[in-house]
Amino acid sequence: MVNLPWDHYTPQGVEFYGQLSCLNAGIAFADVITTVSPRYSREITTPEFGCGLDGLLRYRQNALFGILNGVDYEEWSTISDPNIAQSYSATDLGGKAVNKERLQKELGLPVDATMPLFGSIGRLVEHKGVAIVRGGLSVMLSTTLQFCLIGRGFPA
């Protein structure tokens, strides 16, 4: 017994398919609901990705916001980042060439300023598109380019 008033036992409260759900209650009664990205906040309002909560999420969509991975642009700034070899900005891209050369050397790739270098950073899991990367990789690598991948997840 949780001692809640009976009017809370609805799909817009704590009830989830005949059972009590704290997640359902949290979504129902929260002032604001946030997700890891604007796209994901839209996806979870569909039956495909809503896991049965999509109706409630659509009902609460005025309180639902996606914050793009919580990027702190003061901490992750190419102008002041001490972890990159050369700083650069949108108005002065000069340092990018130095950083590309440094990355090519670190990865054991041929240093070539004219060679396109593609990178992907992310969790290697199906719902993040790892199958798309795997599928396109053979086509990409049949052309003249370099590719680096950083991530954890699906071993294959």
Give residue-wise pLDDT tens across range 79-120. 999 989 999 999 999 899 999 999 999 999 999 999 999 888
Q: How far apart are CA 145 and CA 135, in angstroms?
A: 16
How many residues comprise the chain?
Answer: 156
Secondary structure class of 40 (helix, strand, coil):
helix
Its pTM stands at 0.56
Give residue-wise pLDDT tens across range 111-127. 999 999 988 888 888 87
Asked if residue 52 has pLDDT above 60, the reply is yes
Q: What is the pLDDT of residue 1?
A: 57
Other beta carbons within 10 angstroms of residue 139's beta carbon come to: 8
Domain spans of the chain? 6-66, 94-150
List Cβ neighbours of 10 (8 Å cut-off, separation of 6 or more): none
